[in-house]
Structure 1
Amino acid sequence: MSKRVGAPGSGISRRDFVKASGLGGTLALAGCTAPGDPQESVDTSTETSASQTGGDLPSTSPPEIVNVDEQGGEVTLSSVPAQHHAHPGESMGGPVELPQVWAFKADDGDPSVPGPILRTTEGEDMEVTLDNTNGMRPHTVHFHAVSKKWEDDGVPTTTGVRVDPGEKHTYTIPADVPGTHLYHCHYQTPRHLDMGMYGIFRVDPKGYEPADKEYFLSFKEWDSRLNRQMAGMDATYDPRNRRPDTFTVNGKSAPRTLHPEDGSPIIVEQGDTVRLHMLNAGYMDHPMHIHNHRFQVTHKDGGEIPEVARHEQDVCSIPPAGRRTVEFTADADPGIYLMHCHKVNHVMNGSAYPGGMLTGVVYKEAMQTDIFKQLMEYAGYEG
């Protein structure tokens, strides 16, 4: 099967992307000399030193979707120290890097930030094994929304269950609340969550009917002092005085968010029904705005909103740990339209604008344009 491109979900195949854009192999040097406004540059001394101190840590990959049903209801999660390149290029205030994260990986998959998207079906139980045999510090896993047994809640101070280095522990997680949920480490949460130990947990209701295009998006702001401190750099993090300086969509900062394979563009075709499952894994509220499309919020924190209570809107505010599912029809003039946090200082890389917590709704019909090719250069797409 051809590799799919776009945000995690039901994007188009890489073959169709290359055919639609004509960019296969045409941008071999993209990202090295991508243009940018010299008046909007950012001091990259921190990012440069971060990349020089990465050592032998692996780099993260984009989050994968793990269909737990197809694995007999079982999945193993482990945490891997890694380097995270939120935007590795030099355009638009880059590079933006987190020199150390604690990335979740599922089974034998690649480590990612956010962690793998765990997908199951209503009525199924998941056996989630947290494998900390090669770990360096204690961890747990807490799953939001679902009704589980007390000892499976993932909070060490109230359950007495903590997974220390060298140990494994299996949680039984019932899929009894359909919707889009959050999972994360609940040991020393202010640090472990900010080191990247979070992901989306999706429970499809029985008889679920997917949209034409369906994507998963997680948003997060970071105080990179913590990541630099954990990498042994000269930085001191204070969780009581948090100062976010990195803003991401599925772990990437714009323009890397628009990269078809490493980022999360929302790729659509004219007339598609589009469904976005969104999570805020940060500590701040993020009002997400989609240009030129009116949508309805259909689900909130796993609860379905009755049709009579829905309305058309173009900004959806998501609180910390909040989840929203929105639906719209791709009925605009085929083009490229931004989706971004409307706290506009979150749409920056340092002092460079635009950047940060921004991606785009990209119509397949617009991929042959010069502006799309330029955006791919900014994003560092090499074809």
Structure 2
Amino acid sequence: MSERIGAPGSGISRRDFVKASGLGGTLALAGCTAPGSPKESVGTATNANAASSDLPTTSPPEVVDVDERGGEVTLSSVPARHDAHPGDSMGGPVELPQVWAFKADDGNPSVPGPILRTTEGEDMEVTLDNTDGMRPHTIHFHAVSKKWEDDGVPTTTGVRVDPGDSHTYTIPADVPGTHLYHCHYQTHRHIDMGMYGIFRVDPKGYEPADKEYFMTLKEWDSRLNRQMAGMDATYNPRNRNPDTFTINGKSAPHTLHPEQGSPVIVEQGDTVRIHMVNAGYMDHPMHIHNHRYQVTHKDGGEIPDVARHEQDVCSVPPAGRRTIEFTADADPGIYLMHCHKVNHAMNGTAYPGGMVTGLVYKEAMGTDIFKQLMEYAGYEG
């Protein structure tokens, strides 16, 4: 169990969260339906549970400090069940009966995969262990300059990691910034089954913000996941019709779950830095209520000061990365952060849901509305 609360990153301590929120005990109210939100399930959750009962359930993505592991990490893929929002509030449950989840070493499988973090100038030895796998895989790392055979594309390098095999990629950390990694074998299917994650290279002398978080955006057509689970579904990538929208693998209101979701938890006066990555195939304009921010980095490149400006929405294209920075200087409260394609902020026909999370001031955690949001999110204390 993590000792930090909130989205992957710095967060606040569990002790501080309990002290600020007063939610140390069990709420025993999880599963309430939000006012105005019809109680309807996305997909076929009952059949999904039956089809995937023998699979492990994914965990939230962990931040893996590769430097602390001597520059080495092993990734493998595990079939798993993924609960984007397991509760029945706000159009839930939202479930993907089968995903192919990455895990690092002996960690838990997660969607997105583990956040691999290293430092500029270091090399990573990333071993793709497919000895227990069921299908071929590869790993492709964006941005960094690597040797040809380490590019992760089987058709152009001749390197494919078949079931029963493993392969080690040497990945130089020579481009500071926030990047994407993913399987590049049958890419259109394997990314949509969950084989993606964030690769972060901290520049030399990096100074973190007071609060720093990672967010991976993704839309899903659950027909593929149901088809791969052996259910009665037919999927055509040429006729992709997303029905599930997630931040760090979760759909609202489960995005607000302090342990499994990705609330951005701040204190008045904090400097806040959020690294956003789009692992999907659609553009996602991300908006934060009541705050203005600057986009400081784009696709691993630093934006000069003279080119920056204050804004409250920025689009993150497929495979794109954006780092935003702002000061938590608003009236302490709870503010939405969401994709402004409003149909992406839904679970089925229920609104709100989907690609929505919250910017939560620690000072607002003791309020009744925060406790109500925790009920919707399924947090039981």
Asked if the contact 1:296–1:311 (Cα under 8 Å) also holds between the matched residues in 2, the reply is yes
Distance in 1, matches of 2:157 and 2:2, equals 44
- Identity of paired residues, percent? 85
Q: Which position in structure 1 is the counterpart of 2:40?
A: 42
Distance in 2, matches of 1:35 and 1:119, equals 38
Q: Which position in structure 1 is the counterpart of 2:304?
A: 306
**Cα distance, 1:25 vs structure 2:** 1.0
Q: Does 1:15 align with 2:11?
A: no
SS of the aligned residue for 1:93 comes to coil
Which runs of 5 or more residues in structure 2 are unaligned?
none
Distance in 1, matches of 2:191 and 2:78, equals 14
Distance in 1, matches of 2:15 and 2:155, equals 50
SS of the aligned residue for 1:261 comes to coil
Residue 212 of structure 1, aligned match among 187, 207, 210? 210
Distance in 2, matches of 1:273 and 1:338, equals 18
**1:251-266 alignment, distance < 5 Å:** 251-266=249-264
Asked if the contact 2:41–2:94 (Cα under 8 Å) also holds between the matched residues in 1, the reply is no
Q: Which position in structure 2 is the counterpart of 1:338?
A: 336
Q: Which position in structure 1 is the counterpart of 2:102?
A: 104
Asked if the contact 1:2–1:13 (Cα under 8 Å) also holds between the matched residues in 2, the reply is no
Q: Which position in structure 2 is the counterpart of 1:114?
A: 112
Q: Which moved more, 1:152-161 or 1:47-56?
A: 47-56
**1:24-43 alignment, distance < 5 Å:** 24-27=24-27, 29-32=28-31, 34-37=32-35, 40-43=38-41
Q: Which position in structure 1 is the counterpart of 2:355?
A: 357
Distance in 2, matches of 1:43 and 1:65, equals 32
Distance in 2, matches of 1:11 and 1:184, equals 26
Q: Which moved more, 1:136-145 or 1:36-45?
A: 36-45
The residue type paired with residue 76 of structure 1 is T
Distance in 2, matches of 1:121 and 1:343, equals 35
Distance in 1, matches of 2:53 and 2:41, equals 23
Residue 345 of structure 2, aligned match among 335, 347, 350? 347
Distance in 1, matches of 2:350 and 2:207, equals 41
Q: Deviations over 1:5-49 (max 9, x none)?
A: 10000000111100000011141x2323x1324663334461222
For residues 327 and 188 of structure 1, do their structure 2 counterparts lie closer, same or farther at Cα, with a shift above 3 Å needed? same
Asked if the contact 2:175–2:300 (Cα under 8 Å) also holds between the matched residues in 1, the reply is yes
Distance in 2, matches of 1:9 and 1:227, equals 29
Q: Which position in structure 2 is the counterpart of 1:198?
A: 196
**Cα distance, 1:53 vs structure 2:** 1.7
SS of the aligned residue for 2:19 comes to helix
Q: Deviations over 1:324-362 (max 9, x none)?
A: 000000000000000000000000000000000000100
Q: Deviations over 1:78-111 (max 9, x none)?
A: 0000000000000000000000000000000000
> What's the C-alpha RMSD, in Å, of the aligned pairs?
1.1
**Cα distance, 1:213 vs structure 2:** 0.1
Q: Deviations over 1:347-378 (max 9, x none)?
A: 00000000000001000000000000000000
Distance in 2, matches of 1:43 and 1:132, equals 35
Normalised by the length of structure 1, the TM-score is: 0.98
Distance in 2, matches of 1:246 and 1:355, equals 9
Normalised by the length of structure 2, the TM-score is: 0.99
Which runs of 5 or more residues in structure 1 are unaligned?
none
Q: Which position in structure 2 is the counterpart of 1:3?
A: 3
Distance in 1, matches of 2:358 and 2:43, equals 29
The residue type paired with residue 119 of structure 2 is T
Structure 1 runs of 4+ aligned residues shifted over 4 Å read none
Residue 88 of structure 1, aligned match among 82, 86, 90? 86
Residue 293 of structure 2, aligned match among 283, 290, 295? 295
For residues 212 and 313 of structure 1, do their structure 2 counterparts lie closer, same or farther at Cα, with a shift above 3 Å needed? same
Asked if the contact 2:52–2:98 (Cα under 8 Å) also holds between the matched residues in 1, the reply is yes
The residue type paired with residue 337 of structure 1 is Y
The residue type paired with residue 115 of structure 1 is G
For residues 159 and 227 of structure 1, do their structure 2 counterparts lie closer, same or farther at Cα, with a shift above 3 Å needed? same
Q: Does 1:277 align with 2:286?
A: no
Residue 161 of structure 1, aligned match among 154, 159, 162? 159
SS of the aligned residue for 1:297 comes to strand
SS of the aligned residue for 1:328 comes to strand
